[in-house]
Amino acid sequence: MSSPKPAPQYLTSITTKQALILILSTLTLITFTYISFTSVRPTLNYTSYTSSSSLSYPQPTTSSHVDVEAEESGSDGFTDVYHVPEVFKLNYAEMERRFKVFIYTDGDPKTFYQTPRKLTGKYASEGYFFQNIRESKFRTEDPDEADLFFIPISCHKMRGKGTSYENMTIIVQNYVDGLISKYPYWNRTLGADHFFVTCHDVGVRATEGLPLLVKNSIRAVCSPSYDVGFIPHKDIALPQVLQPFALPRGGDDIENRTTLGFWAGHRNSRIRVILARTWENDTELDISNNRINRATGHLVYQKRFYRTKFCICPGGSQVNSARIADSIHYGCIPVILSNYYDLPFNDILDWKKFAVILKEKDVYDLKQILKDISHEQFVTLHNNLVKIQKHFQWNTPPTPYDAFHMVMYDLWLRHSVIKY
Ligand SMILES: *[C@@H]1O[C@H](CO)[C@@H](O)[C@H](O)[C@H]1NC(C)=O
Ligand SMILES: *[C@@H]1O[C@H](CO)[C@@H](O)[C@H](O)[C@H]1NC(C)=O
Ligand SMILES: *[C@@H]1O[C@H](CO)[C@@H](O)[C@H](O)[C@H]1NC(C)=O
Ligand SMILES: *[C@@H]1O[C@H](CO)[C@@H](O)[C@H](O)[C@H]1NC(C)=O
């Protein structure tokens, strides 16, 4: 199937020779997967428990060996920051070629349908998705060739217009009921091949009036917590990204990272209160007990990310925080301090290779945990972080492997289980 748009550079670079390699790698894929699950995985996992701490923070010196192997085997930078680099590479290419999404055109774009509210602020991911999919090659006008159907209703925009929660639920219900009675597509699977996107958590509440929307459809949300309605095998964790970034991306700047850990922000959750109370006067961890005031100086908050090794990312009112994408962008290792957070692209990326994943109870041992990470391990984490920065950035128009394409890839992985 040929695309009307010019193929991206990385696709045109697939020559006959490389195609041959691709076929060969497909043939060896089963062997590869078998080996990686039987021998490589346990080795890595068990070696990471040899330290005195029982926490499984990463031991990157072990994995850098695998890195080299992956690069030597000619996988074009598809290193072990991915769970199975070869599978991601091949599946992603297939998604690029074949994936088609039908967007319902109903609803007045001047209200909360079809168009994003804006591409700024902490819920910008929602707006970017709406805009990106409309201008992407994945969009089809022909529902018969669609793999999935997008319900383009923006709860963030509704919220911006001051709609009450109760009215939101009614508006979503009326809209989807309208689609159900007008088109034959929903009824074939009762919504299993439909999806909606909401970064603001009000979007999850607003769908409560339609039990089948919650149960059957794919929900792409910024607040994916295992202990609320999120279903990890079906739903998708949308990265929360506060764009545009105020300063350029960080990377290859390890000598400037002299602060061990940093956090400043609103104490709007239990874990943030504990974090501030425990560490606010520490001389090695730079933990504020409040937001950094703008009067302190120009972009003081953002500049701290460049000077820090580990940026602490406790959950706020939800498990997620735009601080995680900030940390990734500025090259500061994110330290996840949330329970039950289904991290964005968790099924594709091996987060332990570029982040430190902790539980809330670890907050009391935070300093020792970070100090136990050797300089070599930190360097490996930092270098891996730079490799995945592109996955946590939105662009208009979208570019290959950016946040939009990663969300599309997650949708592609989920669509294949639906039959009608
Ligand atoms: C909710 O809907 C009712 C009926 O349409 C309307 O009168 C009311 O103003 C709405 N309230 C809000 C906050 O949107
Ligand atoms: C889909 O099913 C519902 C419930 O049975 C029905 O009311 C609706 O008319 C159906 N839609 C179409 C397009 O047939
Ligand atoms: C380190 O910080 C200094 C002062 O802010 C800056 O001029 C320099 O470019 C930074 N080095 C790197 C590698 O980013
Ligand atoms: C930090 O210092 C301030 C001012 O001296 C004090 O009020 C506060 O109790 C200290 N916090 C901790 C956790 O020791």
For the segment 267-288, what is each residue's pLDDT rounded down to a tens digit?
Answer: 999 999 999 999 999 999 999 9
Residue located via tokens 């996988």: 75
Identify the pLDDT of residue 289. Answer: 84
Q: What is the side-by-side order of every strand in the sheet holding 139-140?
A: 139-140, 101-103, 148-150, 194-198, 218-221, 236-237
Q: Label residues 180-198 b or e (16+ Cβ within 10 Å = b).
A: beeeebbeebebbbbbbbb
Q: Is the Cβ atom of 288 under 6 angstroms away from ligand 4? A: no
151-189: pLDDT as tens digits: 999 998 998 889 998 999 999 999 999 999 999 999 999
Q: Is the Cβ atom of 174 under 6 angstroms away from ligand 1? A: no
Q: Is the Cβ atom of 273 under 6 angstroms away from ligand 4? A: no
Identify the pLDDT of residue 226. Answer: 87
308 CA distance to ligand 3 middle (Å): 13
Q: Which helix (H) or strand (E) holds 218?
A: strand 218-221
Q: Is the Cβ atom of 167 under 6 angstroms away from ligand 1? A: yes
Cis peptide before 244, with omega less than 30 degrees from 0?
yes
CA dist 195 and 98 (Å) reads: 18
Identify the pLDDT of residue 417. Answer: 67
163 CA distance to ligand 1 middle (Å): 7
Pairing assessment for the beta strands 259-263 and 333-337 based on DSSP bridges: unpaired
Give the residues across from 243 on adjacent strands.
121
Q: Is the Cβ atom of 61 under 6 angstroms away from ligand 3? A: no
Judging by beta carbons within 10 Å of its beta carbon (0-12, 13-18, 19+), is residue 49 exposed, middle or buried? exposed
Mean pLDDT of the chain: 84
Q: Which stretches of 222-291 are assigned E, i.e. beta strand? A: 236-237, 259-263, 285-287
Say which ligand is closest to the CA of 281.
4
Residue 241 pLDDT greater than 50, yes or no = yes
Sign of CA dihedral 321, 325, 326, 332: positive
For the chain, percent of residues with pLDDT exceeding 90? 67
Residues 6+ apart with CB under 8 A from 186: 149, 176, 179, 180, 194
Q: Is the Cβ atom of 256 under 6 angstroms away from ligand 3? A: yes
188 CA distance to ligand 2 middle (Å): 10
For the entire predicted model, the pTM comes to 0.83
Identify the pLDDT of residue 33. Answer: 44
Say which ligand is closest to the CA of 190.
2
290-308: pLDDT as tens digits: 888 878 888 999 999 999 9
| CA distances from residue 187 to 115, 144, 368, 416, 420 in whole angstroms, order as listed | 26, 14, 55, 18, 10
23-57: pLDDT as tens digits: 445 544 444 444 444 333 333 333 333 333 334 44
Q: Is the Cβ atom of 281 under 6 angstroms away from ligand 4? A: yes
Token pair recorded at residue 268: 């709007």
Q: How far is CA 37 from its chain centroid?
A: 24
What is the arithmetic mean of pLDDT over 98-127? 91
Q: Is the Cβ atom of 376 under 6 angstroms away from ligand 3? A: no
Higher pLDDT, 10 or 244: 244
Q: Is the Cβ atom of 212 under 6 angstroms away from ligand 2? A: no
Judging by beta carbons within 10 Å of its beta carbon (0-12, 13-18, 19+), is residue 327 exposed, middle or buried? buried
Mutate which of 180, 188, 212 for ligand 2 pocket (most atoms within 8 A of beta carbon) = 180
Judging by beta carbons within 10 Å of its beta carbon (0-12, 13-18, 19+), is residue 153 exposed, middle or buried? buried
Mutate which of 274, 281, 289 for ligand 4 pocket (most atoms within 8 A of beta carbon) = 281
Residue located via tokens 């597509």: 185
Ligand 3: nearest atom to the Cα of 256: 1
